[in-house]
Structure 1
């Protein structure tokens, strides 16, 4: 049995960074940028009105209340004509380009329109209510850095910059195989049966990484279904195969011998962690990595969070994740020599310091505390802990 740092180092040494491909922006969500993105233009690209009102040329630092100006035109967003050399004021819409030589916008609600003239009801400050070119981002400036997840905010920025294709890391192809003759889909259960929760959990978790499914199976503890599912995933070009259950040392724990018979090279089996000690990692030469997780649901959650997620990060070329140090509200006692992964909640105490509270009644089979936690804690005996986001995709 090896330590968690040793196991993770062995595992990550086997990871091959994924290729880079160019993808359309509409298909890039949840991908990772493979290169820095420089802005091809300034945002805004021109000075424009921040609100509906009247554009004017201020003659000093302020325009006094009661000022009356003649209105020459209505200037709307998208208008191409923006030169009114003789005009005193132009009615202007939000987002419209500022007419040449105009420097101030007086909000419409602080104006009184009388025919072809407008009267200002309050003192106005020169330069107000104008969005200046480049105040969001300048041309040539770094827009998004390499390794950035392409989320909705990134898509908004890239679209505003007129970028329709990006260089992104290829999606990892991941297969999920849940073992157990007792596993059933939703619906009525037979005697001794349970609903499969590990398969749906892993599918949902992997989807947040934008992975490409390379197969998903639920197989019994007898027969050759597991062998077939692994071969199918390997032949389908999976980069990673994640299995659950049948990985310990009992009569029905067939996964280690099955993987060996299929030609997988074992990297390690059993790690000094709780929960999840029986975890196994293997590699098919020239093929996928395999992470075989125990069957208890929170052991699966730990395996995903602290083994699968680091592999996906490394495949995407991302640096190692860094946790946050927090103080435990109450001491944690665990088995010496084991790395304990615990669920908890992080909040602020009366002095505004971050304090972590361990979830009550934690056990590898209990799912409810997982739904109530907002952090994973790697706990120690010194009163401090490392806090990790519940969803590793949030840490990217």
Structure 2
């Protein structure tokens, strides 16, 4: 495909190639952090039986209030883990939190709301008096009150987080259907790049910041980094590294640099030489317009990111991460909408991805475009806690205009701090 494509066209081409992975069944420990591929239906009630919500005494109210001052003989006791028992008569049963309610009893009075009138030789209560009224059902957790058997508790497309694990473990689920993590390789091109932070720079050399940044972002995106290499601008070196990425099992290869239109931007021709299908090369966005997307002959997806740090960050965040989501069965990402904190305008009719800071001031959340939007600047990424995305057609924005806002990564929640006005 020649010429620049729109963001929408690029995303459609990416998602067309990023079919969800095959379904696997994993234990809860192995599934944590993965995405459910199938709904989970409760095979049991939760709680599995009526039980006490308090340490206290189980009583029978039988539809009517038990007034303060009523006295009861203590006829039995029930602790957590005891088997089912049945109360006979109108006496009270000492009971602990989580213990199964004896049959025939329907309410619990906490220990704080009784006066013990008599104890046996072991110090156990034998007669009590209520110091507060007790209503039917007080402090009793009913069977199925949390989850009813047969209900869908988790739906496909939901990440298996700690809360999901708690519910699944409570229901006795030992395995769930999930899709594995995508495997990603990162290749940084450029003979000017230096990986060793202890080595002094020669004239014309720079530190490789894209490699460590992309490796960290790949992990935050829920993917597995299987290879990271820095290669020269020689096509043979690049293709050898690409072969190692494929041998490492990468589903996605990210490269930085050598995708623009300069004399030394060799990546497009190198990919064509090994039979890659380049689906687009250039997107009407800023930063990161020279973005390249291809499918390799082995089926892997290839994202050629520009070398400038902000351009590489945008290419990963808004294009490669869309593929990572699709592989795992997550639905396409949706933005939040927030008012703009201050006026802003642009000089090109492109879709802009802006380093931004979301702030809470005077009870209102606003999104602020940060200074330093040039694609070579890395310092603003430290201050940024979000991205603002503005459409190509709108050139100027007033304070208070609603804009699209995204978290730093697709798998992350938006975090912000209150600021003084």
Change (3 A) 1:60 1:132: closer
Taking the aligned partners of 2:267 and 2:75, their CA distance within structure 1 comes to 81
Partner of 1:369: 380
Question: Which of 259, 262, 276 is 1:250 aligned to?
Answer: 262
Taking the aligned partners of 1:223 and 1:11, their CA distance within structure 2 comes to 25
Taking the aligned partners of 1:74 and 1:369, their CA distance within structure 2 comes to 65
> Structure 1 residue 74: deviation in Å?
2.6
Partner of 1:142: 152
TM-score after normalising by structure 2 = 0.86
Taking the aligned partners of 2:237 and 2:157, their CA distance within structure 1 comes to 38
Deviation string 1:341-371 (CA, Å, 9 cap, x unpaired) is 0122334565x65432222333323334323
Taking the aligned partners of 1:186 and 1:52, their CA distance within structure 2 comes to 62
Change (3 A) 1:340 1:132: same
Taking the aligned partners of 1:209 and 1:27, their CA distance within structure 2 comes to 18
Aligned pair count reads 395
> Structure 1 residue 110: deviation in Å?
2.1
Partner of 1:389: 407
Taking the aligned partners of 1:321 and 1:335, their CA distance within structure 2 comes to 28
Question: Which of 1, 17, 22 is 2:25 aligned to?
Answer: 22
Q: Would you say the 8 A contact 1:377–1:387 is kept in 2?
A: yes
1:86 maps to 2:105: no
Change (3 A) 1:120 1:186: farther
Question: Which of 211, 214, 221 is 2:233 aligned to?
Answer: 221
Secondary structure of 2:345's aligned partner:
coil
Deviation string 1:223-261 (CA, Å, 9 cap, x unpaired) is 733211111222343221111223223354332232223
Partner of 2:13: 10
Change (3 A) 1:130 1:184: farther
Q: Would you say the 8 A contact 1:30–1:208 is kept in 2?
A: no
Q: Would you say the 8 A contact 1:234–1:287 is kept in 2?
A: no
Deviation string 1:300-323 (CA, Å, 9 cap, x unpaired) is 221111001111122223332221
> Structure 1 residue 95: deviation in Å?
1.0
Structure 1 unaligned blocks of 5 or more: none
Question: Which of 365, 368, 382 is 1:357 aligned to?
Answer: 368
Secondary structure of 1:102's aligned partner:
coil
1:39 maps to 2:42: yes
Q: Would you say the 8 A contact 2:45–2:149 is kept in 1?
A: yes
Matches within 5 A, 1:1-396: 1-59=4-62, 61-86=64-89, 88-113=91-116, 114-115=118-119, 116-185=126-195, 187-192=197-202, 193-222=205-234, 224-347=236-359, 350=362, 354-379=365-390, 380=394, 381-382=396-397, 383-394=401-412
Taking the aligned partners of 1:56 and 1:95, their CA distance within structure 2 comes to 16
Change (3 A) 1:79 1:263: same
Taking the aligned partners of 1:183 and 1:117, their CA distance within structure 2 comes to 82
Structure 2 unaligned blocks of 5 or more: 120-125, 414-421
